[in-house]
Structure 1
Amino acid sequence: MSAIARSDDLRRQNQRRILAALRRGGPLSRTELSSQTGLSASTVTAITALLMTSGALIETVPADSVDHGSSRRGRPQVSLSFNADFASIAAISYSLNRISAAIVDYAGRLRAEQVIRIETRKSGSREIVDAISLVLDQALAEAGTKAPLMQIAIGVQGVVDVEGRTVLWTPIQHSKDVPLAAQLETRHGAPVTLANDCSMIAEALRWQEPSTYSGSFGAVLLSHGIGMGLVLKGRLFSGIGSSATEFGHMNHMPLGAACRCGSKGCIEAYAGDYGIWRNANGLPPSSAPKSDLQILDMKAIADKARAGDGPERAAYRAAGLAIGSGLKSMFALFDPFPVAFAGSGAAAFDLMEDAIREALGEQAIGMATPNVEMHCYRDEYPLVRHGATMSALTSLDEKDLLLSDPSEKSAADLEENDHRMDDAGRGMLHAS
């Protein structure tokens, strides 16, 4: 590799470190950036200068510096923050009978959001693309921003390929292998990435509550369907060729109740809204999943379950046992981890928790795990939106946003020399 290539790679790496620190910590001074990233002051100064020249960053004076400026000597400490007008991104949620689009500026502020209803299972792939484009255009018009749309992230209910380009399968639409990213890029002229919606919920929790969700955890969707976003050792998990972690379609009962995926005995066939509704109404396990359930329908079942013993309470117990059994299998593979339950079904978590913990309390490989940390979030849509937002913003941050400047390359070379000197010093210490 040439020296120029190494320098370019290093400056992009340093750019990512600086922007990641700003995403996590808000406005920061150059001194704070140097401390948090481990980069030298000269490198931070050089790279942030180029990021300001490109328009990605701006200088701001903290309010407390302005308020107390008269009592302090010298120039107030200046912080660096994202320039909201540098770019905009779109965070889109594509779920059963619902598509939403949010426009967010480069500083992470929500500028507009639009939602449309569409019968997804009765719509072809062209109609879905048209609907997504329509709601995106409506949100852009509402936002009224002049900042260019530079990244689109979409959370999809279903399985996407590992590159985030194609919807391989989704229970909310009959079409398979839909090249959704390419189709939307052609229409809107911005890069598009797809992800499973549960992965976006997990991504949101990592940013919103890092003290709780940092290392490894699962985000389980409790709604019409059941899904999971999985984070292992700080990284979103994906399969070999797809988004994977289809928790709801792990088998709970061989040859059991009919699932909307076409299989039998899936966790979702017992714990999804339609599975609970079917059991509560005494319908045979082979009956077709009901697709038009509303939140009020499920609330009525939950109210009856809380009122006393009966088929409604038994239905929620069956749901809890299915979820707990699935989690026990996951824990056998990955070790126990905290679990966040999100979605409308979390409103009835009190009716399922005992059964979940009962299933976890049964020993597997000699261990029982009934005391797993669990949290609930009753509305998944803000989480999907926030996860898609952060996915889009961090994707944009990882692009080369620096304007070429020989002086910056000198700073990058200096930083590379610093690393070499550090390595040499460590070698001398080991030798001694």
Structure 2
Amino acid sequence: MITPVTDSIRTDNTLALIRSLRAHGAMARVDLAAANQLSSATVTSISGDLLERGIIVERPPSAQQLGHRGRPKTLIALDPDAACVITIKLSINEVRFTVGNFCGELHHSDTQAVDTLALTAEALIELLVRHIDGLSQRLAATCGPVASICLAVQGIVSPVRGSIVWSPAFALRNVDIVSPLRARFACPVQLENDANCISAAITSHPDYMAIPNLAVIMLGYGVGMAMLIDGKPYLGAHGSSAEFGHTKYEANGALCACGKRGCIEAYVSDYALYRDAHTLLPLPAGDSAHPSEEQMQALVRLAENGNPVAKQIFAKAGHVLGTGIANVLALFNPDQVLITGSGVRAYHQLAPSLDQALNDALVEELIGQTRLATYGWDHDMTCMGAIQLALKAADHRLVQLDRSKALPLA
């Protein structure tokens, strides 16, 4: 069935208004119309529908407005409790559940320690169903029904098939994780690589919204990348593109967590840096295969204090990272390369050899006008980005429902 053009236009306009209210907070209808280049009549009609369905609420004029001449403007805003979204971050020996309200704010977070490598596919799905059920029941009264679920996973995933292809967190391969959850909870469920979730969080920031060609590199336990081309995420034919960490630096080189040798991740990731350092340097005790933040900070401090072994380890990592970024510049010529993740803690130690590797690898014209910068990691943006992606799916579902209905969500 072909959707009438007028319905399609109204859907697009409704989505635009919801996203404006989420990005900017409460706005007057006239200002919302101007921001989206819509007529006042269109905004009045759509907002009336959303108000009736409990998706938005009216707020009284602010104190600042009351001090001005003329009739104060009534503001409208998204109702944060209209619905919520659940995100799940699956990483090595840890599963983190977060709940975002309809405004995109973090409402709840809970981290579970799990022996992920020991999980069967059935046990993994049962664990997720049990926790989602518990969250849905516990939080329904405070943040509304669950409108969407998003899973963020380290490693290679197929959003098209909804399956975890490979992840260092699991011994499993090619597990369809989306279909069982979608059937159980009757709402949109999506699966994303964790780097793509981080990219979604960053590109929701006003400073980065307008950059059409952007490469976001995540440094941490592993090394990931998300690519935006012409403003859209590039996923490849099967959703596993931009696996920057598993491109090669040298044949038969250092062993990577993927089981192959010579990957960029095998030199730049936390586990690679710590593997090279822990037998040579006085570092805190712990699992050398899965170093803690305390262990990594101790290694950075040694380098900052001039320890030659620590400095050499970071210099090597910077050279490898710079060589990999040079390939990205030569292949894609992005407007900006943004480096983020917990690994930016050591960026000052990486930067000299990174810059040198870039200049050694490329002629000046291939480096071009691409900007290279870091994005601070004062909190884990994976779940915040997953909330953004889950809300996008929830918005589409909400506006496509029969407008005469309330909010029949899971």
> What TM-score comes out, normalization by structure 2 length?
0.88
Listed as ranges, the gaps of 5+ residues in structure 2 are 281-286, 405-410
Partner SS, residue 192 of structure 2: strand
Shift of 1:66: 6.6
Shift of 1:353: 1.1
Corresponding residue number in structure 2 for 1:375: 374
Question: 1:212 and 1:399, CA in 2 relative to 1: closer, same or farther beyond 3 A?
Answer: closer
2 CA distance for matches of 1:232 and 1:185?
A: 30
Q: Does 1:223 align with 2:220?
A: yes
Corresponding residue number in structure 2 for 1:45: 44
Partner SS, residue 384 of structure 1: helix
Contact 1:93 1:385 in 2 (8 A): yes
Contact 2:57 2:76 in 1 (8 A): yes
In the alignment, which of 319, 328, 331 is matched to residue 330 of structure 1?
328
1 CA distance for matches of 2:96 and 2:188?
A: 18
Matches within 5 A, 1:64-143: 64=63, 67-68=66-67, 72-74=69-71, 76-140=72-136, 143=139
Shift of 1:126: 2.5
Corresponding residue number in structure 2 for 1:245: 242
**Per-residue deviation, residues 80-112 of structure 1 (Å, max 9, x unmatched):** 211122211112211122211111221223221
1 CA distance for matches of 2:150 and 2:170?
A: 19
Corresponding residue number in structure 2 for 1:358: 356
Question: 1:337 and 1:146, CA in 2 relative to 1: closer, same or farther beyond 3 A?
Answer: closer
Contact 1:85 1:106 in 2 (8 A): yes
Of 136-145 and 300-309, more deviation after overlay is shown by: 136-145
Shift of 1:235: 1.7
Partner SS, residue 377 of structure 1: coil
1 CA distance for matches of 2:240 and 2:12?
A: 26
Q: Which residue identity lines up with residue 180 of structure 1 in the other structure? A: I
**Per-residue deviation, residues 260-309 of structure 1 (Å, max 9, x unmatched):** 101110000001122112322569xxxxx953322222223222222325
Question: 1:310 and 1:83, CA in 2 relative to 1: closer, same or farther beyond 3 A?
Answer: same
Q: Which residue identity lines up with residue 338 of structure 1 in the other structure? A: Q
2 CA distance for matches of 1:128 and 1:291?
A: 23
In the alignment, which of 387, 392, 395 is matched to residue 385 of structure 2?
387
2 CA distance for matches of 1:368 and 1:66?
A: 52
**Per-residue deviation, residues 383-422 of structure 1 (Å, max 9, x unmatched):** 11110111111221123536447xxxxxxxxxxxxxxxxx
Question: 1:135 and 1:355, CA in 2 relative to 1: closer, same or farther beyond 3 A?
Answer: farther
Q: Which residue identity lines up with residue 86 of structure 1 in the other structure? A: A
User: Which of 1 and 2 has greater Rg?
Assistant: 1
2 CA distance for matches of 1:303 and 1:213?
A: 37
2 CA distance for matches of 1:197 and 1:213?
A: 22
In the alignment, which of 288, 292, 295 is matched to residue 294 of structure 1?
292
Corresponding residue number in structure 1 for 2:283: none
Question: 1:146 and 1:242, CA in 2 relative to 1: closer, same or farther beyond 3 A?
Answer: closer
Corresponding residue number in structure 1 for 2:284: none
Q: Which residue identity lines up with residue 144 of structure 2 in the other structure? A: A
1 CA distance for matches of 2:303 and 2:69?
A: 65
Q: Which residue identity lines up with residue 85 of structure 2 in the other structure? A: I
Q: Which residue identity lines up with residue 198 of structure 2 in the other structure? A: I
Q: Which residue identity lines up with residue 294 of structure 1 in the other structure? A: S
> What TM-score comes out, normalization by structure 1 length?
0.83
Question: 1:66 and 1:335, CA in 2 relative to 1: closer, same or farther beyond 3 A?
Answer: closer
Contact 1:61 1:79 in 2 (8 A): yes
Question: 1:403 and 1:55, CA in 2 relative to 1: closer, same or farther beyond 3 A?
Answer: farther
Q: Does 1:199 align with 2:196?
A: yes
Shift of 1:364: 2.3
**Per-residue deviation, residues 301-342 of structure 1 (Å, max 9, x unmatched):** 222222325332211111111111111000101114433333
Q: How many residues are paired up? A: 395
Contact 1:115 1:135 in 2 (8 A): no
What root-mean-square deviation, in Å, do the aligned CA atoms of Structure 1 and Structure 2 show?
2.6
